[in-house]
């Protein structure tokens, strides 16, 4: 589910979780402090999702100059990206559209079943909770589908994944009949028995290793389950996904001393 992370007065990390079905209203109290939902203070902004393009939006309801995204004043509305910095009054927050979490010991998820694979969640499993309906899925089960598995939800998983990874230089494409990997009868580099025995087919979604010296092609569902790329051994896909979808993880570029271009990722 979408998450706003912020620092509490005592220095600890705070989180506010909400869903597309219940957009978050942000208020500013007389002392300048921000509040979530109903309560003290005038409503200044709301986070919702555009109906046409399905992107998350911050709407400045009153034109308050204290409503900013990435340091820039929001005059009317602003599209939010993964990791966008929000300032409402004197409160600063980070916005996370889609988050990946590890199932902790004692979590309420343990013993419940993933709606895709029908296997129980176990401690240390990586799980994505749908931002729209709140249904949890195993990471691999979530990313291999175009839309949320919950009937009637239709959260656009694949389109959102492509958009969020594009700022990191990750290419995910749906293969055309004339794509080189199709015409050359190439196979998925993951080599999963049974799954990757056949060459790539038109219509399949493929991810390419971001290492410029590699560029190996993988089925999208194979790629999201990888650790290091099995071809070059230098790009840690799991670490990349955690840095994109887990709040407060450092950005990962696959290079030991790489620098992250924050503006390019917005």
Domains of the chain, by residue range, sit at 3-96, 99-152, 156-266
User: What's the CATH code, domain 99-152?
Assistant: 3.30.40
Residue 237: phi, psi to the nearest 5? Answer: -65, -40
Q: State how far the Cα of 82 lies from the Cα of 141, in Å rounded to an integer.
A: 21
Q: State how far the Cα of 92 lies from the Cα of 239, in Å rounded to an integer.
A: 26
User: What's the CATH code, domain 3-96?
Assistant: 2.60.200.20
Q: State how far the Cα of 33 lies from the Cα of 27, in Å rounded to an integer.
A: 8
Q: State how far the Cα of 140 lies from the Cα of 142, in Å rounded to an integer.
A: 5
> Stretch 189-203: mean pLDDT, rounded?
90
Question: What are the structure tokens assigned to 17, written together?
Answer: 């979780």
Question: Against a cut of 0.85, is the pTM above it?
Answer: no
Q: Considering only residues 38 and 87, tell me which one the structure prediction assigns the higher pLDDT.
A: 87
Q: State how far the Cα of 70 lies from the Cα of 86, in Å rounded to an integer.
A: 6
Share of the chain above pLDDT 90, in %: 32
> Stretch 36-58: mean pLDDT, rounded?
78
**Could you give the count of Cα atoms lying within 13 Å of 25 in the half-sphere of its Cβ?**
11
Coil vs helix vs strand at 74? coil
Residue 67 has pLDDT above 80, yes or no: yes
Confirm if 69 and 85 have CB atoms less than 8 A apart.
Answer: yes
Mean pLDDT computed over every residue of the chain = 84
Beta strands in 151-197 (DSSP E): 172-174
């Amino acid at each position: 589910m979408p998450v706003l992370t912020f620092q509490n007065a005592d220095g600890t990390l705070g989180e506010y979780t909400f869903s597309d079905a219940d957009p978050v209203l942000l208020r500013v109290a007389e002392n300048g402090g921000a509040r979530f939902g109903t309560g003290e203070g005038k409503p200044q902004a709301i986070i919702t999702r555009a109906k046409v393009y399905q992107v998350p939006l911050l709407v400045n309801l009153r034109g308050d100059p204290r409503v900013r995204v990435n340091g820039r004043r929001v005059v009317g509305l602003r599209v939010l990206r993964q990791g966008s910095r929000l300032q409402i009054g004197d409160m600063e927050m980070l916005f996370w559209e889609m988050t990946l979490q590890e199932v902790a010991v004692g979590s309420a998820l343990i013993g419940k079943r993933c709606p895709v694979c029908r296997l129980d969640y176990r401690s240390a499993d990586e799980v994505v909770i749908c931002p729209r309906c709140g249904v949890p899925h195993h990471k691999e089960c979530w990313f291999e589908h175009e839309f949320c598995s919950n009937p009637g939800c239709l959260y656009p998983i694949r389109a959102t994944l492509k958009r969020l990874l594009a700022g990191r230089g990750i290419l995910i494409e749906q293969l055309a009949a004339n794509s080189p990997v199709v015409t050359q009868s190439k196979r998925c580099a993951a080599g999963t028995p049974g799954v990757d025995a056949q060459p790539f087919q038109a219509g399949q979604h493929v991810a390419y290793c971001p290492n410029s010296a590699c560029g190996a092609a993988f089925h999208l569902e194979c790629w999201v389950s990888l650790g290091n790329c099995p071809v070059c051994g230098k790009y840690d896909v799991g670490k990349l996904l955690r840095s994109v979808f887990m709040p407060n993880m450092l950005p990962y570029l696959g290079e030991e001393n790489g620098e992250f271009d924050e503006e390019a990722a917005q």
